[in-house]
């Protein structure tokens, strides 16, 4: 299959995928008890006001009518309007999504910079103190809850040592150094678990490659160990590592809500969480829709990278 046919096929997959995601999110949000009107009105306000608002926002219509009415606006690029904030959901998502992307990418970069060399060294120096130390560290990283680690990092490096600000966000366009200063603690906290996962994966895939026949052949030909690892085994070992990295990056985009809450990072995770708490349906639906698009786009990029890493892989 040619690259363009593959790309067209993957883009066509977007239609049923996005439809199912939107249908699921829309249904779940409307099945949860309560509605935005409960958040808008105080207890002592009369039922007439409530009925008027329900009719104004169309909550008195059947759920399928509400869904298709919302989807008819989405296909035109209109994600709706926040019920409580009275602002365009598109603008809210446009402001929040880059902040989550900054956080997820920073965590990914930290994880890859640490885990890849550590996993390679652990595989090459198998059953040495370096290998044992990295495995113990990986197990600890996977065992510690992210929110608890975030609180510990905030308490020690933010409050005790005072090296980093504990909460808040500064746009990179306003002051890039302050942006990095605020980004450091949440990115490191978010990246710790991924360091553990990627270290173990890189070690196992490298060990598998180092035990294959072609490696023994290269060694018998007198090739330096550095060339064997750098030119042959590492490239082959990166394919499964890249798969997990792409999945983890997609998960990071949608799973930063805990870290964003702990460090008051105003990303899309916090936006969606606030929308859930206040039953602000358009905000939740728009936020989840953009996260779904981001996840699908990341997987598409990874499929293209597969072909670059190993031309033998067929695009299907």
Per-residue pLDDT, averaged over 75-100, amounts to: 80
- What is the model's pLDDT at position 205? 78
In this predicted structure, what is the pLDDT of residue 301?
73
pLDDT at 213 over 80: no
Average pLDDT, the chain: 76
**What percentage of residues in the chain have a pLDDT greater than 90?**
0
Q: Scanning the structure block, which residue is given the tokens 């490239």?
A: 235
In this prediction, residue 313 has a pLDDT band, given cuts at 50, 70 and 90, of low
Does residue 43 surpass a pLDDT of 80?
A: no
**pLDDT per residue as tens digits for the range 93-117:** 888 888 888 888 888 888 888 888 8
Measured distance CA(203)–CA(270) in Å, rounded: 35
**Range of 37-41, 100-104, 128-132, 189-193 with top mean pLDDT:** 100-104
Say which residues have a Cβ less than 8 Å from residue 119's Cβ, sequence separation at least 6. Answer: 134, 198, 199, 200, 201, 202, 203, 206
Domains of the chain: residue spans and CATH: 89-309 (1.10.3720.10)
Task: Report residue 170's pLDDT band, with 50, 70 and 90 as the boundaries.
Answer: confident
Q: What are phi and psi of 88, to 5 degrees?
A: -65, 135
Question: What kind and span of H or E run contains 196?
Answer: helix 176-210
pLDDT band with cut points at 50, 70 and 90 for residue 310: low
What is the predicted pLDDT for the residue at 1? 54
pLDDT range class, residue 179, cuts 50, 70, 90: confident
Q: State the pLDDT at residue 293.
A: 77
* pLDDT, average across residues 188-215: 77
Q: Cα(12)–Cα(201) distance, rounded to whole angstroms?
A: 32
Tell me what pLDDT residue 126 has: 77
137: confidence class by pLDDT, cuts 50, 70, 90 = confident
pLDDT value, residue 255: 65
How many angstroms separate the Cα of 17 from the Cα of each of 10, 24, 229, 285? 11, 11, 39, 15
Q: For 224-281, what is each residue's pLDDT tens digit?
A: 666 667 666 776 777 677 777 766 776 677 667 778 888 878 888 888 888 877 777 7
């Amino acid at each position: 299959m040619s690259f363009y046919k593959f790309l067209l096929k993957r883009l066509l997959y977007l239609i049923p995928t996005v439809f199912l995601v939107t249908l699921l999110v829309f249904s779940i949000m409307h099945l949860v008890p309560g509605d935005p009107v409960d958040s808008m009105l105080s207890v002592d306000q009369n039922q007439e006001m409530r009925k008027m608002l329900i009719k104004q926002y169309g909550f008195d219509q059947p759920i399928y009518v509400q869904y298709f009415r919302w989807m008819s606006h989405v296909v035109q690029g209109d994600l709706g309007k926040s019920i409580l904030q009275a602002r365009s959901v598109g603008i809210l998502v446009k402001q929040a999504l880059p902040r989550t992307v900054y956080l997820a990418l920073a965590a990914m970069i930290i994880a890859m910079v640490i885990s890849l060399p550590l996993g390679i060294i652990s595989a090459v120096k198998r059953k040495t103190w370096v290998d044992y130390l990295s495995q113990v560290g990986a197990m600890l990283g996977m065992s510690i809850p992210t929110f608890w680690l975030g609180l510990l990092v905030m308490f020690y490096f933010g409050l005790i040592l005072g090296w980093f600000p504990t909460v808040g966000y500064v746009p990179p366009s306003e002051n890039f150094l302050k942006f990095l200063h605020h980004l450091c603690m949440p990115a490191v906290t978010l990246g710790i678990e991924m360091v553990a996962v990627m270290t173990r994966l890189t070690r196992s895939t490298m060990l598998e490659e180092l035990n294959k026949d072609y490696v023994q052949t290269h060694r018998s030909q007198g090739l330096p160990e550095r060339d064997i690892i750098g030119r042959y085994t590492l490239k082959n070992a990166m394919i499964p590592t890249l798969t997990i990295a792409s999945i983890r990056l997609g998960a990071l985009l949608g799973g930063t809500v805990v870290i964003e809450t702990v460090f008051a990072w105003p990303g899309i995770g916090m936006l969606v969480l606030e929308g859930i708490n206040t039953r602000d349906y358009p905000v939740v639906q728009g936020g989840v829709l953009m996260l779904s698009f981001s996840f699908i786009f990341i997987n598409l990029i990874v499929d293209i990278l597969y072909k670059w890493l190993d031309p033998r892989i067929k695009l299907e």
